[in-house]
Amino acid sequence: MNYLSLPKIDLHCHLDGSVRPQTIIDLANEQSISIPSQDINEIRALMIAPETCQNLEEYLMRFDLPLSVMQTQAGIERISFELFEDAAKENVKYFEVRFGPQLHQLLGLSFDQIIGSVVKGMHRAEAMYDIKGNYILSILRTFPKDNIRDVIDAGAPYLNKGVVAFDLAGAELPGFCSEFIPYVAYAIEKGYRITIHAGEQGVGQNVFDAISMLKAERVGHGIHITGHQGAYDLVKQQNIGLETCPSSNIQTKAVDNLSEHPLKAFYEDGLPITINTDNRTVSNTTMTDEVRKVMQEFSLSREDYFNIYKISVEQAFASDEVKQHLMSFVD
C-alpha cells in the first residue's frame, strides 16, 4: 500500500505543535530570540515529546519553544503556510488546524492580527497546492477566562472565511465543562461549530459533559468513553466524531501502546472515528505515518480506510462544496 499517495483528511492538528524545527531557528535569529541551540537536530529533539512522558502536562511543556517565535504576524503567517504546505505534500486534501490565540500575545499582537495571520498563511498555501483548510480557535482551559469572549468576537468576522470552530484544549481536569457553558453558548450564538478535547487524560464523564453541556459535535481524542457507558452511548446515538490521534495518545500515556488503542473497536461498533496527527513536530509524525501505523496494527483494508475517510468528510466543519470535492477522491 502506498500510504503517501492515499488522499487524507486531518481534523485535529495544533499549529504550535507542528512547527518545522528549521523555522524555529530562522525566526529566532530574525527576531534575536535566544534558543538553546542552532543545530536543527538538537532543536528537533527538544521539541519532540519523549516516549517517557509521564502524562499530558509533561507533553504540553514542549510548546514553549515554538510559541516563543510565534509572536509576530510574519512568523505566524509563515508557520501557518508551511504547515499547510507540508500537509499538501503528503496528500492531505482537507486540513483543520487549531491554535490558541491567547498564546500569541506576548509582544502585544491583537487577536485580530493573530487570527488574520494564520488565515493569511493558510490561504497562501491553498492558492499554491491542492489542499483546503479551516482554522479552529482553541481556548486554554487553564487560562484566565476574562478574554474568551474577545477571542470569539475577533474570530467572528473570519467565520466561514477560514475560521469554523471553537475548541477547549490544555490540561484536562475532571468536571471542567460546567465552567465553560456560557462561553461555548456565546460561540455557538456567533456561528462557531464546537469540538472539545475530552476523555484524553480525563474521565469519560468529561465526554458526556462536553456533548450534553457544551453541545460538542466532535470530541478531541475521547478514548476514555471506554470506561463510561453513558458517554459511549451518547457518542453513538448523536454520531459525535471522535478525533483520534494515536501517536499522541501513546506519548501522553492515554494508552500504553497502539494495540491497546480502542479506535478499531470503536470503528467496528459503528462509532464515527477519524485519524489525525494532533502535533506533527511534538509527536514526531505525519498523516502518512498515522494512517500507516493504524492500518498495519489493526489490519485495516483499503475499503476500511476509505470508510474512515468518508467519516472524516462527514465530520469535517467544511462547506458542502468542499465536501463534494473531497468525495471525488474516494476510490
Ligand X SMILES: O=c1[nH]cnc2c1ncn2[C@@H]1O[C@H](CO)[C@@H](O)[C@H]1O
Annotation says 77 is catalytic: no
- Identified binder of ligand X from the candidate list 10, 77, 243, 278, rule CB under 6 A: 278
Judge whether 220 and 274 are in contact, CB under 8 Å: no
Q: What is the CA radius of gyration of the chain?
A: 18
- CA 299 remoteness from chain centre: 25
Partner from Zn ion, ligand X, none contacting 209, C-beta within 5 to 8 A by type: none
Binding mask 247-286 for Zn ion (x = CB under 5 A): -------------------------------x--------
Q: How many of the chain's residues bind ligand X (CB under 6 A)? A: 18
Q: Is residue 266 a contact point for ligand X (CB under 6 A)? A: no
- Residue 56 or 203: the one with the smaller Cβ distance to Zn ion is 56
Measured CA to CA, the distance from residue 74 to residue 40 in angstroms comes to 21
- Residue 205 or 283: the one with the smaller Cβ distance to ligand X is 283
The candidate with the shortest Cα–Cα distance to 173, out of 146, 210, 148, 147, is: 210
Measured CA to CA, the distance from residue 121 to residue 111 in angstroms comes to 16
- Residue 91 or 247: the one with the smaller Cβ distance to Zn ion is 247
Q: Which residues belong to the annotated binding site for Zn(2+)?
A: 12, 14, 197, 278
- Residue 211 or 300: the one with the smaller Cβ distance to ligand X is 211
Residue 99 backbone class (left: φ over 0; alpha: ψ -120 to 50; beta: rest) = beta
Q: Which of residues 218-237 bind Zn ion (CB under 5 A)?
A: 220
The candidate with the shortest Cα–Cα distance to 272, out of 7, 6, 11, is: 11
Q: How many CB atoms lie within 10 A of CB 175?
A: 11
Positions in the binding site for Zn ion (CB under 5 A): 220, 278
List contacts with ligand X (CB under 6 A): 14, 16-17, 56, 60, 63, 98-100, 103, 138, 169-170, 197, 200, 248, 278-279
